[in-house]
Structure 1
Amino acid sequence: MVNDTQLKGDLAAAARDHLWMHFARMGAYQDHPAPVIDRAEGAYLWDTHGHKVLDGLSGLFVVQVGHGREELAEVMAEQARKLAFFPVWGYATEPAIRLAERIAGYAPGDLNRVFFTTGGGEAVESAWKLAKQFFKLTGKPLKHKVISRMTAYHGTPQGALAITGLPPMKQAFEPLTPGGFRVPNTNIYRAERMGAPTDPHEFGVWAADRIEEAILFEGPDTVAAVFLEPVQNSGGCFTPPPGYFQRVREICDRHDVLLVSDEVICGFGRHGTMFAAEKFGYQPDIITCAKGMSSGYGPIGAMIATDRLMEPFLKDKAWFPHGYTFAGHPVSAAVSLANLDIFERENLNQRVLDNEDALGATLRKLLDLDIVGDVRGDGYFWAVELVKDKTTKETFGPAERETLIKQFLPKALFRNGLYARPDDRGEPVIQVAPPLTCGQAEFDEMERILRTTLTEAQQLL
C-alpha cells in the first residue's frame, strides 16, 4: 500500500522527469523538487506538504474572484454535460454568443466585435494580424509595423514576441516577425536616466512624443499600430503619467495608426473597471484581454475590435484567415459569464476602487527599508522596486540579481507564506496582485511577509 509520503515523492519525481515547466530553469529541479500546489480556497494556496501560502499574485494576475468557487465549478460541469466542445469556425454556440455580447457591453465606445482566443499572447497576435489585414483591405498595404515600449511584455508567439520589448526573451528565437519597434516606457522613477523631465505632466508629454517621433522616423505610411498596456507589467507596474494616453490617442489619430490597449493583465477589475482604458480616460481601437475574464477557471482570451475595423470584412468575400481550435470554448465561455456575474453581484470593481489607496499605503510602509527604492502601482497591481542605494537609485549588478531575484526571493517568499513575483526583466522588483476579494487583513499579511523576507535579503547581500 502506498502511503502519503510515497505519493508526494512520486509526484516530485514525475514532475522532475516529465513536466516541462514554463519560464523555468529545469536543471534547478533535479536535486530540489518543485513545489506542488495541491489545493486553493479564497486567497490561499496549500502545497502537498500542507504549507499554507497567501496568493499575492492571483495565480498569475488571473484569479480575480478567488479560488475554490463552487458555483463556477458547477457551471463548468453543467456546460460540459450539455456541450463540452464545438469550434466557432463558422458556427456559434450560445455561451460564446452571450459572452461576446456581454464583453462588448462592457467595452468602451464601439468596441463591439469580439474575437476569442485561448490566452493573452494569442489575443496580441490576433490584433497585429487584424491591423495588417485591415490596412491592406482599405488601400494602405504598407502599414504593417508596430510601436511598443521598452521592457514591455506582450506574449510569446512569434508576432507577440516581436512586439515584446525584452531582448533576452527574444534572442533564442530570432529572427522574429519583422516590424516591431521600441520607444521609452513610463518609468518616471528612472526619468533622469532616460534624459526625461521629472515633472509628471511634462514626463507624460515627453513619453508620448517619443511615440510620434518613432512613427515619423519609420514613416506613417508603414506603421499600423501602437501596442500599450494601461499599466506596464514588465519592469514593475509603470503607471501612465497625466495626459499620456490622451496625447497618444491624438498622435495615433493624426497618423492613422491603431491604438491597441493590451489589457491581458489590466482588464476585468484589476484596476477597478472592466477595462482599464476607461479608468485612464482613452478610447482604444482594439483591446486585447484574457486572464481575469474567467478568473482562471477556464482558458480564454479575446481581441475586441471596433465596428470600423470589422467593416471591410463584411464586404464581398473578405475573411480573416485566422483562428484557434479551442477559442471561445463552450465551457470556458460559460464559466466566464458566471465569473462576470460574481463581479456584478459582489461589486468587485467598486471594491478595488475603495481599497486601492489602502493597498498602496500598506505597501509603502516598506519604504523604510534600505533595500526598497520605490513602491508604485494602481488598483490591485503593485510593484516594490529593490535598490542597492536609495539615495543614488543604484541598482544591483548581474551577480547580485542572480542571488537576489533568481535564487533567494522566490523560495524565501514562499517559505514565509507569500506567493508573489520577484522579477528583474527591468530593474529588480517584487510584484503583488492579490485577488480582488482581498482587503486590509490580506494587505497587512503581505506587507508583514515582504518586510520579513526583504530584511533577510538585506542581511544576505
Structure 2
Amino acid sequence: MANATDHLWMHFTRMASYPDGEVPTIVRGDGAYIWDAHGRRYLDGLAGLFVVNAGHGRTELAEAAAKQGAELGYFPLWSYAHPRAIELAERIASLTPGDLNRVFFTSGGSEAVESAWKLARAYFKRVGKPMKHKVVSRYLAYHGTSMGALSITGLPGLKVDFEPLVPGGIKVPNTNFYRAPEHGDSPEAFGRWAADEIQRAIEREGPDTVAAVFLEPVQNAGGCFPPPPGYFQRVREICDAYDVLLVSDEVICSWGRLGEYFGATRYGYQPDIITTAKGLTSGYSPLGAMIASDRLMEPFLTETGMFAHGVTFGGHPVSCAVALANLDVFAREDLNGHVRANEAAFRATLEKLLDLPIVGDVRGDGYFYGIELVKDKTTRPMFTDAESERLLRGFLSHALFDAGLYCRADDRGDPVIQLSPPLVADQQHFDEMEQILRTVLTKAWSLL
C-alpha cells in the first residue's frame, strides 16, 4: 500500500528506505506461507518474528479469541482474577521444570524481562540482601527494548540513542564457538571457560551486589549460539554458590522452538525464573509471562506483602484464551515431537550450504538456526561496516525476499542469516529454503 509511510512508524526500520518505493505489505498467511498485497507467496522462514509457532491460518485460535471477547473482553489482574488467566497459569505451571509455579503475566517479552529484573531486586531486599541489584548477561545478547531490558541487552549499537541506561548491567562473553579458535576443538573446554567468565564477573563486581544472570538457552542475536556441553550446569553451580538468580530468557526458545516447551528442559538445567512470550499464543494475540519459583514468591506472601509492579494488558482475557487454544494445538498435534523428529533433517539440509565459499558456519538447534557468512573460510576475517552494509542491506535482505523467502539477514555481530520457521514446517519447506538460499548466496559471493 503506497501510503504505508505517511502515518505508520515501523519498528527498527530505516524509514528513508522507502522514499519512492512501496512498503512490503503482508495480508494473509497459511501454514508456513505468507502472501503480500499483490498475491505473491513467500515461505515464512522466521515464523513472523520467532512467533507463529503453530503456523498461520489457525482458525481455532481466532475463534477462541472471538468467543472470549464476547464473554469478557477485558479485566485487569490488579487484585482481581478472571477464569482464563487462572486456567492458563495453572497449565503453564504444569509444563515448567521444577518448582516454577508462579506465573506473572505481561503483554510481551520486554515486559517479562523487565519484570524479572524488578523481581530479583525486590526479592533480595526482602530477604535482607538489599545491595544485590546488578545483572550479568552476554555480549551481543538481545533481551528487549524497555530501559531495563535494554540495559541487560548486550548490543552496543542499540543503546547509543538512549543512554544513560539503568546502571548495573554487566557483560560476559557469549558461546559463539565458531569465533573461539583459542579453545581448539573442545566445546566442553570452551563452555567451562565461558561459564567461569560469569563467576569472574560476579567476583569482580562483588557477590553481594549481583542479583541475577540472564541467559537465553540459544542466544539469538549474533546468529543462534547453542550452549556448549556442560555450560548451563556450570552456570547453575556458580549461581548457587553466590546466591544469584538464574533467569532463562525464553522469549524465543520456549513453546517448541527447540522441541520442548522450554529450552531449559532441553538442556537440562533448572532456572529460578523463566521469561517467555511470542510462541505462547503463536502470535495470534499479544502475551508474555515471567514464571518464578515458589521460593521467590514467599517474601511477598506476608500480610502486607506486594510486588509493586504490573501492566494494564498483562494476562488479557482474550490473549489467555488464545494461549490455551494454542497449547491445545501443541498437545493434539505433538508439535514438540514434530520438531524433534525433523530437526536433524533441517540441520542436514542447511549444512548442504557449507559447500558455498560464503558460508562459514551453520549452527543452532530445533527449528532455530543461524548461517554465518564469511569472506574467507580459513582466516575468518571480520566484515567491515561498509561491507556488511553492502552485503546485508544492499543485497541480501531484498534478494531473499524477492526470491520468495522471508527470513532475517542480520549484522548484530558478524553477518548471519537466521531461520526460525513455523513448527509445522517439514522437508519440503527445508528444501525450498536451501534452494533459495543457495541461489541468492551464490550471487552474493560474486558481488563481494
TM-score normalised by L of structure 2:
0.99
Matches of 1:197 and 1:315 in 2, distance apart?
53
Q: What is the letter of the counterpart of residue 183 of structure 1?
A: V
Residue identity opposite 1:304 in structure 2? I
Q: How does 1:61-460 map to 2 (within 5 A)?
A: 61-192=50-181, 195-460=182-447
1:397 shift after superposition: 1.2
- Percent identity reads 67
Once the two structures are TM-superposed, the CA of residue 32 in structure 1 deviates from its matched residue by 1.7
Query: Distance between the aligned counterparts of 1:196 and 1:120, measured in 2?
Result: 34
Residue 316 (structure 1) shift: 2.8
Distance 2:401 2:39 in 1: 13
**Which amino acid in 2 is paired with 1:230?**
P
Cα shift readout 1:215-238 (whole Å, capped 9, x = no counterpart): 000000000000000000000000
Structure 2 unmatched ranges of 5 or more: none
SS at match of 1:336: helix
Could you tell me how far 1:449 is from its partner in structure 2? 0.6
Report if the CA contact (8 A) 1:146-1:225 is conserved: yes
Q: Structure 2: how far apart are the matches of 1:131 and 1:185? A: 22
Cα RMSD between the aligned structures? 0.8
Letter in 2 for 1:417: G
- Work out the CA distance in 2 between the residues paired with 1:38 and 1:61: 18
C-alpha deviation, 1:327, in angstroms: 0.6
Q: 1:55 is matched with which residue?
A: 44
Q: C-alpha separation between the residues in 2 aligned to 1:176 and 1:316?
A: 35
- Report 1:12-51 matches (<5 A): 12-13=2-3, 15-51=4-40
Give CA deviations for 1:296-350 in whole Å, capped at 9, x if unaligned.
0000000000000000000131111111101100000001000000000000101
Structure 1 unaligned spans of 5+: 1-10
Counterpart CA distance in 2 for 1:436 and 1:341 is 15
Shift of 1:407: 2.2
Secondary structure of the structure 2 residue equivalent to 1:126: helix
Aligned-partner residue type, residue 361 of structure 2: D
Deviation, structure 1 residue 125: 0.3
Which secondary structure does the structure 2 equivalent of 1:115 belong to?
strand
Give CA-to-partner distance per residue, 1:196-244, whole Å, 9 cap, x none: 4541111111000000000000000000000000000000000000000
Name the CA distance, whole Å, in 2 between partners of 1:281 and 1:31: 51
- Looking at structure 2, the residues matched to 405 and 302 of structure 1 have their Cα atoms a distance apart, in angstroms, of 33
AA aligned opposite 2:5 = R
Query: What are the superposed Cα offsets for residues 36-61 of structure 1, whole Å, 9 maximum, x if unpaired?
Result: 10111111011011111000000000
Kept in 2, the 8 Å contact 1:197–1:206? The answer is: no
CA-to-aligned-CA distance 1:54-75 (integer Å, 9 cap, x gap): 0000000000110011111111
Report the count of equivalent residues: 448
Tell me, in whole angstroms, the C-alpha distance in 2 between the residues paired with 1:57 and 1:395. 25
Displacement after TM superposition at 1:410 (Å): 1.2
User: SS state of the match for residue 220, structure 2?
Assistant: coil
State the distance in 1 between where 2:264 and 2:350 align.
25
Aligned-partner Cα distance in 2 for 1:204–1:382: 19
Question: Does the aligned pair in 2 maintain the 1:12–1:36 contact within 8 Å?
Answer: no
SS in 2 for 1:12: coil
CA distance in 2, matches of 1:138, 1:315: 12
